[in-house]
Structure 1
Amino acid sequence: MRGEPQAASYRPDPAILTLADWIGDPVPAADFPDTILRFRNDRQAATVGLTAYSDQQWCAHFGRFAPLPGNLPQPLALRYHGHQFRVYNPELGDGRGFLFAQLRDGADRLLDLGTKGSGQTPWSRDGDGRLTLKGAVREILATEMLEALGVYTSKTFSVVETREELWRNDEPSPTRSAVLTRLSHGHIRIGTFQRLLALEERDHMAALVDYCLTAFPGPPPPEDAPGRDEPAVQLMHLVVERLADLAASWMVAGFVHGVLNTDNMNISGESFDYGPWRFLPRWDPSFTAAYFDHQGLYAFGRQPEALHWNCGQLGIALRLLAEAPPLIAAMERFGPLYMAAIGRRWCWRMGVVSRGVEQDTALLSVCEAQLRESGETPDAFFFRHRGGRDANGPLAEALAGYEATASTHSYWSGATPQSMLIDEVEQIWSAITDGDDWQPLIDKIAAVRHMGEAHGPVPSPAGHR
């Protein structure tokens, strides 16, 4: 889902129905007072054949959730457990969202349309099942920026305002409400597997592994990997590879997700579920996004550690199907895979061709030292030194021998880089809440997409995703 989208016809494929009896609960959507279309992502809708809908039809499907033709007859609120700030919680599940539809894109990949703010479910506990409009706007901005910076992320597909007044502790209340639909490559989480382990549902675990290997295929484990023919081991290798790359992509983007619980970890390796996220105002490994992360567990610099720990929880769950040594062997690949991924991605954002792990790691170290010393934002640093320009001293020495990539796009000759710092996010929201002015959001999306075009696709290892 990276790069310029390709148009496709609508092809429904509700594959989750083979697991529906135990992976989720059929639920109705909330009956909202109104449905006002605020954002439709026609760029992504083209990839799954859904651009032909009028705005009225769009609201019927993505505000009222009338079933799409040939798709799920009723939404499914998925069941899962999870570690929340490393405390196990068996009382989880989709509490304000559901899986609405599944369909194929032009590359024949199975994709999900899932929701946020679509009403209460059996897993809502004391929640109202709703989403604030500000939360929806923030998710648009997060996904657009991350997509442009090469992160494998869910796409904000639709935002429909629903005209309910919501009360929240972290927003001036009452505040406006919305329902969001995201397009993503699956909603199976590490917490989904943890639930099956807790319930000792071995047959269901085996079925879920097979589903994931089919829905999210990838390269086989290394030739010397023990147990490489076992499905659970194969899945473990794929998830380790994907989460190592995801962690690297966040670090290069200067992004702090904020809540890296196992129920927020997608087996597809896709970043999703954006709450208290932030982009770095300066290079600071201790920077946190969530005000409630008092111990800094999910601070910027600890994100790779958090994803590695989450991989370990998947390995524990898969012990229901496989012996420990092959799963541990897969886990041990995380560090080297992460170092290779962050070097490759760092070079991509710098506008130079990767020279391999050793050289790229040395370059990264010099860049980090300069970022700390200068105090500038990562966005400004990468923009200023694109292709090695304006480099002197240790940075120039570290870049010696690196080949610059093409940087002829008009974005690189601009005066300043795009960024997504919290002050601008708040200004965009203020325009909406104070004067119902959506133009700053529209302009920001266009500018971020322009930046994404300038960066181009991230080079990937052969066979990856």
Structure 2
Amino acid sequence: MHLPPHAPEVFETSLPWVPGYSALGADFVSPLAPTPLPAPYWVGKNLPLGQALGLPDTWTSDNEWLHAFTGNRNLDNTSAYSAVYSGHQFGQWAGQLGDGRAITLGEAAGYEFQLKGAGPTPYSRMGDGRAVLRSSIREFLCSEAMHALGIPTTRALCVTGSDAPVRREAIETAAVVTRLSPSMVRFGHFEHFCHHGLHDQLRTLADYVIDRFYPQCRHADAFSANLGGNPYAALLQCVTLRTAELLAQWQAVGFCHGVMNTDNMSILGLTLDYGPFQFLDAYDPAHICNHSDHQGRYAFGKQPNVAYWNLFCLGQALMPLIEDQAWAMSALETYKEAYPKAFAQRMAAKLGFERPTAATGTLTQDLLTAMAAQRVDYTIFWSRLTQWSTAHDPKDHRVRDLFLDSASIDAWLLQFSELHAQHPYAHSTELMQKNNPQFVLRNHLGELAIQAARVKDFSVLEDLLNVLQAPFEAHAHHQDWADFPPDWASAIAISCSS
């Protein structure tokens, strides 16, 4: 693919850049510079993250930083690149993929800095390498919303925009989101080298991940005798356990990823690649948030099983290093115990119980069955249950009003109260408040920020970011954002191009 010539000016920063993943060499990355965008402007800025990274206080008012995070400046002591990987998409082998519209600037302060939408790369597959304003705003907001919810995720430092046209279903404007992660390595990286028989490179990649992020795998005999002391089997088990915990957190908060391809699965158990995601409005295990998912492969209730399928693909990719199928299966089998245990713990906490029991499990299942039958709003239910359990007012009907069949929830609330009476926990209210957010990034809230940003009004985005960064607190001036979605929200279509 012919890439346009460009030589952005160099911008010197004080960040301590290190080679990081790019040091693995030409089999892993393709060096290239971003393609500049004309007349960039700030769209969204994450001030707390900038401060944590040690950026100067003036970075948000400095045109040099604006141009740097748009791809119009090369950063000093960095070697920008895009990475190659492969993967399964919608259950089918898709072959070579790679960073089609993402360019990593370098690594500093423990993070890889990546520009998403920075122009074509060798892996763009005839695409333009650009991102549009709407998708960039959605990723920016959701990354930070998930972080505030305590869910492992890539981070988002800023979004910059340009009036340069980008064609999707219609002509839109360009944007670049600067996202950060300790590593962008995906399951698909391992699949790529295994599929092409590049076993030396596969070992190099696995050793890099182990040495950087899972050093305990060098002592694999401490994990389980069933792993044979094999560090790569131990790596598979570590990733399996992290993925199980991540999926439990997604399901507990009602988060739909929408496109759980193996190339969108993080080797660190992070939420990666925010495309057609959605937080549930009405609770429905069969809900499909991605309008490109015509078969419903990635429906909300299927996500835990899809994660296990993806882990199985990772296990297959690691087999040249693990060698013994029994060791790989032993590592993968831990998911079947770890996920239910993690989910039970999360749901018990939402109910205000310190630890899960058979009784809290029954309470959870009965509740979810009732919510699904009546399509009860997921986030509002948990928020109201927290308030109801605090009020102790028999005339408080805020929970039962969510159900058309109030008799079913009345019986459930009685069981809930009786179980708390039998197993009192002094910090029950605090536990519920910490696990039941009042605010999540519903599709219509993101749409409000997007529509305002299209006319250069970024105040809605800024206010929404501030609210999402404190999702468990009350925000009196924006309490309507915790209310039911408007009727028009159901018409919002989110697809893989979003």
The whole-number CA distance in structure 2 between the counterparts of 1:45 and 1:348 is 32
The whole-number CA distance in structure 1 between the counterparts of 2:99 and 2:138 is 20
For structure 1, list consecutive stretches of 5 or more residues without a partner in the other structure.
Answer: 1-8, 105-109, 455-465
Q: Structure 1, residues 402-431: CA drift from partner, whole Å, max 9, x if none?
A: 52537579x89x9x9323322232222222
The whole-number CA distance in structure 2 between the counterparts of 1:217 and 1:453 is 35
Please report how far the alpha carbon of residue 232 of structure 1 lies from its aligned counterpart in structure 2 after TM superposition.
0.8
The 3 A distance-change label for structure 1 pair 248 and 92 is: same
Task: Quote the residue 1:160 is aligned against.
Answer: 160
- Structure 2 residue identity aligned to 1:300: F
Task: Quote the residue 1:181 is aligned against.
Answer: 178
The 3 A distance-change label for structure 1 pair 101 and 349 is: farther
Pairing 1:36-55 to 2, within 5 Å after superposition: 36-52=41-57, 53=59, 54-55=61-62
Q: Which moved more, 1:369-378 or 1:305-314?
A: 369-378
- Structure 2 residue identity aligned to 1:60: H
Task: Quote the residue 2:413 is aligned against.
Answer: 392
The 3 A distance-change label for structure 1 pair 386 and 18 is: same
Pairing 1:93-104 to 2, within 5 Å after superposition: 93-104=98-109
Q: Structure 1, residues 171-216: CA drift from partner, whole Å, max 9, x if none?
A: xx32121011101121111110001001111111111111111222
- Contact kept in structure 1, 2:237 and 2:332, CA below 8 Å: yes
Task: Quote the residue 1:423 is aligned against.
Answer: 444
Q: SS in structure 1 opposite 2:172?
A: coil
Q: Which is higher, the Rg of structure 1 or of structure 2?
A: 2
The whole-number CA distance in structure 1 between the counterparts of 2:413 and 2:211 is 49
- Structure 2 residue identity aligned to 1:55: D
Q: Structure 1, residues 62-87: CA drift from partner, whole Å, max 9, x if none?
A: 113534444x32x1110001000011
Please report how far the alpha carbon of residue 382 of structure 1 lies from its aligned counterpart in structure 2 after TM superposition.
1.5
Please report how far the alpha carbon of residue 47 of structure 1 lies from its aligned counterpart in structure 2 after TM superposition.
2.6
Pairing 1:337-348 to 2, within 5 Å after superposition: 337-348=338-349
Q: Does 1:58 align with 2:73?
A: no
The whole-number CA distance in structure 2 between the counterparts of 1:379 and 1:190 is 31
Task: Quote the residue 2:427 is aligned against.
Answer: 405
Q: Does 1:443 align with 2:463?
A: yes
The whole-number CA distance in structure 2 between the counterparts of 1:17 and 1:436 is 37
The 3 A distance-change label for structure 1 pair 300 and 225 is: farther
Q: Which structure has greater helix proportion?
A: 2
Q: Which moved more, 1:13-22 or 1:217-226?
A: 217-226
The whole-number CA distance in structure 2 between the counterparts of 1:355 and 1:85 is 36
The whole-number CA distance in structure 2 between the counterparts of 1:374 and 1:419 is 21
Please report how far the alpha carbon of residue 363 of structure 1 lies from its aligned counterpart in structure 2 after TM superposition.
3.5
Task: Quote the residue 2:485 is aligned against.
Answer: none
- Structure 1 residue identity aligned to 2:375: G
For structure 2, list consecutive stretches of 5 or more residues without a partner in the other structure.
Answer: 1-13, 393-411, 475-498
- Contact kept in structure 1, 2:100 and 2:122, CA below 8 Å: yes
Q: Structure 1, residues 15-74: CA drift from partner, whole Å, max 9, x if none?
A: 21331221110112012112111122221122322244353132132113534444x32x
Task: Quote the residue 2:31 is aligned against.
Answer: 26
Please report how far the alpha carbon of residue 374 of structure 1 lies from its aligned counterpart in structure 2 after TM superposition.
4.9
Q: Structure 1, residues 102-154: CA drift from partner, whole Å, max 9, x if none?
A: 123xxxxx321112101001111121110000111111222232223221111
Task: Quote the residue 1:459 is aligned against.
Answer: none
Q: Does 1:79 align with 2:76?
A: no
Q: Does 1:285 align with 2:306?
A: no
- Contact kept in structure 2, 1:353 and 1:404, CA below 8 Å: no
The whole-number CA distance in structure 1 between the counterparts of 2:450 and 2:210 is 40
The 3 A distance-change label for structure 1 pair 403 and 373 is: farther
- Structure 1 residue identity aligned to 2:423: G
The 3 A distance-change label for structure 1 pair 248 and 160 is: same
The whole-number CA distance in structure 2 between the counterparts of 1:69 and 1:407 is 50
Q: Does 1:301 align with 2:301?
A: yes
The 3 A distance-change label for structure 1 pair 242 and 359 is: farther
The 3 A distance-change label for structure 1 pair 403 and 68 is: farther
Task: Quote the residue 1:458 is aligned against.
Answer: none
Q: Structure 1, residues 363-396: CA drift from partner, whole Å, max 9, x if none?
A: 4213313422553222112211228446822333
Please report how far the alpha carbon of residue 357 of structure 1 lies from its aligned counterpart in structure 2 after TM superposition.
5.6
Please report how far the alpha carbon of residue 361 of structure 1 lies from its aligned counterpart in structure 2 after TM superposition.
2.6
- Structure 2 residue identity aligned to 1:61: A
Pairing 1:193-342 to 2, within 5 Å after superposition: 193-217=190-214, 223-227=223-227, 229-322=229-322, 323-342=324-343
Please report how far the alpha carbon of residue 249 of structure 1 lies from its aligned counterpart in structure 2 after TM superposition.
1.0
The 3 A distance-change label for structure 1 pair 96 and 336 is: same
- Structure 2 residue identity aligned to 1:100: L
Task: Quote the residue 1:463 is aligned against.
Answer: none
Q: Structure 1, residues 284-313: CA drift from partner, whole Å, max 9, x if none?
A: 111011111111100000000111000000
The whole-number CA distance in structure 1 between the counterparts of 2:418 and 2:203 is 52
The whole-number CA distance in structure 2 between the counterparts of 1:271 and 1:292 is 20
- Contact kept in structure 1, 2:115 and 2:178, CA below 8 Å: yes
Q: SS in structure 1 opposite 2:120?
A: coil
Task: Quote the residue 2:96 is aligned against.
Answer: 91
The whole-number CA distance in structure 2 between the counterparts of 1:227 and 1:419 is 40
TM-score by length of 2: 0.81
- The alignment of Structure 1 onto Structure 2 pairs a total of residues equal to 431
Q: SS in structure 2 opposite 1:175?
A: strand
Q: Which moved more, 1:50-59 or 1:437-446?
A: 50-59
The whole-number CA distance in structure 1 between the counterparts of 2:310 and 2:52 is 31
Q: SS in structure 1 opposite 2:107?
A: strand
- Contact kept in structure 2, 1:36 and 1:161, CA below 8 Å: yes
Task: Quote the residue 1:362 is aligned against.
Answer: 362
TM-score by length of 1: 0.86
- Contact kept in structure 1, 2:285 and 2:299, CA below 8 Å: yes
User: How many percent of aligned residue pairs carry the same amino acid?
Assistant: 29
The 3 A distance-change label for structure 1 pair 166 and 91 is: same
The whole-number CA distance in structure 1 between the counterparts of 2:53 and 2:289 is 33
The whole-number CA distance in structure 2 between the counterparts of 1:135 and 1:102 is 24
Q: SS in structure 1 opposite 2:167?
A: coil
